[in-house]
Structures are given as C-alpha cells and as structure tokens.
Amino acid sequence: MNILTKYFLTFFTTVTLVSSLAVPAVAQRDIGPGYIKGTRETIPVVVRSRDSNALNILKLAFSAHGKYRLVNSMQEASFAIQIDPIGSSHSALRITSGVPEQQLHSANAQGTSTRNSILKAVDMAIRKTSGLEGFFGGKIAYVGEVGRSMEIYWRDFLFGEGVKLTNHNVEAIRPRWSPDGNYIVYTSYYSGFPNIRRIDLRGQRSEAIVSLQGTNTSARYSPDGSRMAMVLTGRGNADIYVGNSQAKALSAIVKSRHLESAPCWSPNGREIVFVSDSSGGNQLYRGSATGGSYNRIPTNISGACMEPDWNPKNPDQIAFTIARGNGFQIADYSFSQRKSATLTNESGHALQPCWLNDGRHMLYTLRNGATERIVLLDTVSGKRTILSPASLGKVSQASFLPPRG
C-alpha cells in the first residue's frame, strides 16, 4: 500500500468513524521599517544577551523567522536586539541602532516563566522592528505518538516548556485551542468509539462533551469562542453541525448524502470552508456558517484538496493540503484572484497546515518515512524551519494559540 492510499484511508476513517517589576521610564520613539538598512526583504540584526540560554533562543527565533537575518557587527545591522532575563518571570528588552549605538527602545516583558518572558520579549522586538505581529510567545497543541498511543500535548513555540495533557493510551487526534486558551477540544477513542472531548487547561481535566451515536469528530471553535463546528454521523452520514461553545444546541448546517469533513471558520466567524466528496473527489466548499447553499471553491490544483485553514489576517486566503504525485503538499488559494499556488516542495509529505496570528507564517506536519515533525514556514520568504526535535518522536497535527497579554 503506497503512502497516498494509506493517507486517504486514514482520512476517510477520521471522517466516517470517526507578576509586576518596575522598569525605569525611557524615551520612546517609532522604530518602524524606515530604519532598515539595505534590502527591505530582510532586516539584518545583531542579537545579544548576558544569559547563554536566552542568547540561544534569540538566535533560533530570529534565524527561523524569515524576515530577519543574523549578522555579526553593527556596521552590517539595522538593529541590535538585547534580551536579558530578570528574576523568574521577566526579561528586559533593549533595541539599539547605529555606530555609535543609540538606544531606540527598551521595555520589560512579563511571562509565566523566565523562558516565556524571553519569548514574549522577542515578540516585542519583532513588532518594534518590523511592524509584524510576534508569535514566539504562543503555544502549540499537538499529537505525540509513542507506539500505538496518540496523546495530546502542548509546548511553547520552540518546543521547550510543555505539558502532556492526556494519558489514555488510545488514539487522540486533531486538538484545537479555544480562543481564550482555557480549553482544547479533540477527538478521542477513549470510550471505544470516536467522541469529542474537552481538556480544561485550568484544572487539567478531560471530559467527553459530544458522545452521540456514530462518529463525533473535527471539533473547532469559532474565532470569538462562542460556537463550535464539528462533524457528526448520527444520521448515518458525515455532516457538519454547529453548536454553542459547550457543544450544545447542535444544528446541522451541511446535510447531504456525501461525506463532509474538516470545517474551518472564516476570520469573522460568518462563513465556513469544508471538504466534501460531492464532486467525486475531495474538494473545498464555502458558505454561511448558519446553513444554506454552499459553493465549490475552484482551486483547480489537485484532484484531492483537504484540511483547509483560513488565514486569520487575510480573509482572501486559505491554505490546504493537496495530493500531488504519490504524496501531499501544502497549497493556498486566493478568493479574489481565483488562483491556487503550491507553498511546499517536500521530498516527504507536507500536511495539516495551521496559520499563525501574523497571517504570514504557518505550521505544518512533515511526514518523511517513519518520522513526523512540526515545521514553521514563512510564506513570504519561503524560509522553512523544523521546530519539533527528533527526540520527541512523532509529532503532528499542530494547533496554535497566539501570545496573550
């Protein structure tokens, strides 16, 4: 059985079985992109810290971002970015420029730990020097696979601090954050059949919230957290339902004799995009999140289009998985241009795209032989960085929670 056939079987199974520190005040001034030397494609920066661990984090973050490139001297750099930990939950950020150097900005970042405060300070530096939203202070929920067990975890963006959230020794798939970061919903076989469970991160509790007859899967919160979409088969077919944030008051918004899957909300929560095989192969459809008619999206790029994710910053753009040759890659589609483009060219298989909060970067799963890793992609520069270390084993199905506060 080749990898393409195997993935489709898995895909259809899922569908059908399925703390405050004072800092001296300093003069502030705008240090936007106008300060950049040289080309505007990348920003040359020097990174510094008196703490070796913080310095390693800075090097990794700014080299992975795609908008920046690390240089060795201020003669080459637009900015010097220095971040130094202070105590157990704060870090001091200082941005300078020029020869001799002049201070442009300083600030204090507070986090849940020293490491988290460093990552939040990185995000502050990104906003001040590029105007882009930072994402390194966010969290990634994912599926970690050991043997036959698939458990739900979360870790920080660079896969440092984190927590194992389930220990059920069964298949758990497709974790999704609530927008407030208090919950993760996912599909689990803990009860012997696929139902939708919810983890309360405040108490590390997991409970079933949808366990109707048939398959209950693909739960996903709306952008404001007030509603939840999912796929249920209680009527004998895989249809899309929407309920409130507690997965109650469920209503079928897509009902057909075909198989529907993978509902995804538009940034304003008014529409959904989903997958249906009503045209004979898996393709993407778009329509109102309250029901009614749905139109096929003319991606015209592959006979199989799956796993859509709507860009949170750019409603004109969605990313999705396509079948390409004997494997899979990530593509995107522009509604205004009615045009698709392939974003990845992996020798293995690129799956499960997940946009970040800046609308420029995404995460995806790289499957290569027996390995599965989480990759960061800058869709503007094409910069690609494997985030999850090999020591974690198989890691897939990333869901991103943007930084808070």
218: left (phi over 0), alpha (psi -120 to 50) or beta: left
Domain boundary pick from 74, 97, 130: 130
**Quick one: 323 and 182 in the same domain?**
yes
pLDDT on residue 234: 86
**Position 187 in a domain:** yes
**Quick one: 79 and 217 in the same domain?**
no
**Quick one: 180 and 218 in the same domain?**
yes
pLDDT on residue 205: 86
**Position 28 in a domain:** no
pLDDT on residue 192: 86
Domain boundary pick from 130, 159, 182: 130
**Quick one: 281 and 226 in the same domain?**
yes
pLDDT on residue 20: 27
**Quick one: 266 and 376 in the same domain?**
yes
**Position 188 in a domain:** yes
**Quick one: 43 and 159 in the same domain?**
no
Domain boundary pick from 107, 130, 153: 130
User: Position 253: which residue type?
Assistant: I
What pTM was estimated for this model as a whole? 0.90
Enumerate residue ranges in the chain where pLDDT < 50. 1-40
**Quick one: 266 and 341 in the same domain?**
yes
**Quick one: 91 and 207 in the same domain?**
no
pLDDT on residue 351: 97
**Quick one: 81 and 224 in the same domain?**
no
208 burial level (CB within 10 Å; 0-12, 13-18, 19+): middle
Q: Which residues span the domain enclosing 121?
A: 33-130
**Quick one: 122 and 146 in the same domain?**
no
**Position 266 in a domain:** yes
Count CB atoms within 10 A of the CB of residue 130: 22
Query: Residue 195 sits in a domain of what CATH number?
Result: 2.120.10.30
**Quick one: 85 and 151 in the same domain?**
no
| Sign of the Cα pseudo-torsion (301, 303, 304, 308, in order) | positive
Q: Which residues, in sequence order, are CB contacts of 348 under 8 Å at separation 6+?
A: 327, 366, 367, 368, 369
What's the pLDDT tens digit per position in 269-323?
A: 999 999 999 988 999 999 999 999 999 999 999 999 999 999 999 999 999 999 9
What's the pLDDT tens digit per position in 391-401?
A: 999 999 999 99
Enter the DSSP assignment of 224: T
Enter the DSSP assignment of 168: -
Facing residues of 285 across strands? 274, 296
Count CB atoms within 10 A of the CB of residue 8: 14
Give the neighbor-by-neighbor strand order of the sheet with 139-146.
162-164, 149-156, 139-146, 394-401
> Alpha-carbon distance 220 to 368, whole Å?
27
**Quick one: 116 and 147 in the same domain?**
no
User: Position 311: which residue type?
Assistant: N
**Position 107 in a domain:** yes
The CA-CA-CA angle for residues 369, 375, 378, to 5°, reads: 140
What's the pLDDT tens digit per position in 40-74?
A: 489 999 999 999 999 999 999 999 999 999 999 99
Number of domains in the chain: 2
pLDDT on residue 279: 85
Q: Which of 309, 320, 319, 317 is nearest to 264 (CA)?
A: 309
